[in-house]
Amino acid sequence: DRGNVLVPDAPDADIIREAFEGYASGRFRTQAEVARFLGRFPDFPGNKNGKVLQHKATKILTNPIYAGYIRSPKYGISWLKGRHEPLVSLETFEKVLQLRAGVSYAP
């Protein structure tokens, strides 16, 4: 914690950052590849069997919290600047969203 700014926890923060950057750069062409990447790390939180499913990769790649923003449709918050240190730049996050909205590739 740096004053009122929350600091990301390593090593998960580094793994998530690499997943975002890998997807944005084209290193990972599908969300399934991102899930497989995340699953390579035994301590990365997966399902009850320890597997990281594509659904989890999708939730990570679409969550603005990693870019320093929060949202809560339940409370009517669409994009609010958080008080936490982002893991990825807003540009990287937006690039991931654009890639997800474009052409999809079969794994």
- Does the pLDDT of residue 92 top 90, yes or no? yes
pLDDT of residue 1: 40
- Note whether 60 and 19 are within 8 A (CB): yes
- Note whether 88 and 14 are within 8 A (CB): no
Share of the chain above pLDDT 90, in %: 51
* Max CA pair span of the chain: 45
**pLDDT tens figures, 51-79:** 888 889 999 999 999 999 988 888 888 88
pLDDT of residue 68: 92
pLDDT of residue 51: 86
- Does the pLDDT of residue 10 top 70, yes or no? no
Q: What is the DSSP string of 24-40?
A: HHTSS-SHHHHHHHHHT
CA distances from 45 to 11, 39, 57, 81 (A): 12, 9, 11, 26
Phi/psi of residue 36, nearest 5 degrees:
-65, -40
Burial of 19 (0-12, 13-18, 19+ CB in 10 A): buried
